Amino acid sequence: MTPAIDVNAYLARIGHAGAVRPTLETLRELVPLHARAIPFENLNPLLGLPVLLDAASLERKLVHEGRGGYCFEHNLLLKHVLEAIGFDVHGLAARVLWNQPEDALTARGHMLLRVNLEGQTLLVDVGFGGMTLTGVLRLEPGLEQATPHEPFRLLESGGDFRMQARVRGEWKTLYRFDLQEQFQPDYEVTNYYLSTHPRSHFRTGLVAARAEADRRYALRNSQLTIHLLGGPSEVRVLTSAAELRESLERDFLLKLPEDPQLELALARL
């Protein structure tokens, strides 16, 4: 049974006006709006706060509190919304290969969505940080597919798929995955590791990302990068907790949590 989710509150959060139906047009409207409105961020793990994946907690944090989250939070929230609208949606898991060798064996630490619609199998992923998909892909290997940002393609071998994006003229692999359906307990186990283990990169540094129509924002600790579409990237080093706070609120549209550890964490960065 699909948990209750306030679809109207979600639509207001991402700035969608008008009716929604389980159609490709609606899906193509929701995905880029979600990527622009709800940032990728890891403040909860950084501050030692729990990352909760039940529907009520996701709605409270990402919709009503003006926060963001990482892949499980983004894609589970969107999954609940799409199911409430009437879409046929299934969770998948991926092994991240971004900035890793192509033959690296990594854990299934990422979530994406498969949507069965109008005789097509589609892929949606609003939770991959600085390379979050801002469009909807068809599950058609070898086909270069345009999105509002970079072109993407899928490579397939023996039932395994590699998600790639063309960045500065070169195809880069984001992750590899198969079509085995994943369920809430699968994500809960990995989420616990990523949000609590002392060696998890979500526990040891600040990460934030958000897409705009003409750019992508990415923050890694104190380094802010603005990737302009069709243009050069701008890199700035933020030199104080005040600058970090300002960037999180301005560039990533975050309502920062009222937590006494936040200032200390930002100062350490």
Question: Cα–Cα distance between 193 and 189 in angstroms, integer?
Answer: 7
Question: Cα–Cα distance between 79 and 90 in angstroms, integer?
Answer: 8
Q: Which of 34, 74, 80, 125 is catalytic?
A: 125
Domains in the chain and their CATH numbers? 7-177 (3.30.2140.20), 200-268 (3.30.2140.10)
**Residue 64 known to be catalytic:** no
Question: Cα–Cα distance between 242 and 212 in angstroms, integer?
Answer: 23
pLDDT above 70 coverage of the chain, percent: 99
pLDDT digits (tens, 9 = 90+) for 99-126: 999 999 999 999 999 999 999 999 999 9
Encoded tokens for 222: 């104190």
Q: Which of 71, 74, 149, 251 is catalytic?
A: 71
pLDDT digits (tens, 9 = 90+) for 72-97: 999 999 999 999 999 999 999 999 99
**Residue 34 known to be catalytic:** no
What residues contact residue 41 under an 8 Å CB cut-off, 6+ apart?
A: 67, 68, 69, 70, 207, 208, 209, 248, 252, 254
Supply φ then ψ for residue 123, to 5 degrees: -120, 135
pLDDT digits (tens, 9 = 90+) for 167-210: 989 999 999 999 999 999 999 999 999 999 999 999 999 999 99
Q: Can you give the pLDDT at residue 269?
A: 85
Q: What is the mean pLDDT of residues 123-148?
A: 98
Q: Can you give the pLDDT at residue 167?
A: 93
What residues contact residue 220 under an 8 Å CB cut-off, 6+ apart?
A: 205, 206, 207
Q: What is the mean pLDDT of residues 31-46?
A: 98
Asked if 248 and 219 touch (Cβ cutoff 8 Å), the reply is yes
**Residue 149 known to be catalytic:** no
Q: Can you give the pLDDT at residue 260?
A: 83
Q: Can you give the pLDDT at residue 173?
A: 98
pLDDT for 1 beyond 50: no
Q: Which of 34, 74, 110, 149 is catalytic?
A: 110
Sheet arrangement for strand 223-228 = 40-41, 207-212, 215-220, 223-228, 233-237
Mean pLDDT computed over every residue of the chain: 96
Of 153, 151, 157, 174, give the one whose Cα is nearest residue 95. Answer: 174
Q: Can you give the pLDDT at residue 3?
A: 63
Which of 16-30, 53-67, 130-144, 253-267 comes out lowest in average pLDDT?
Answer: 253-267
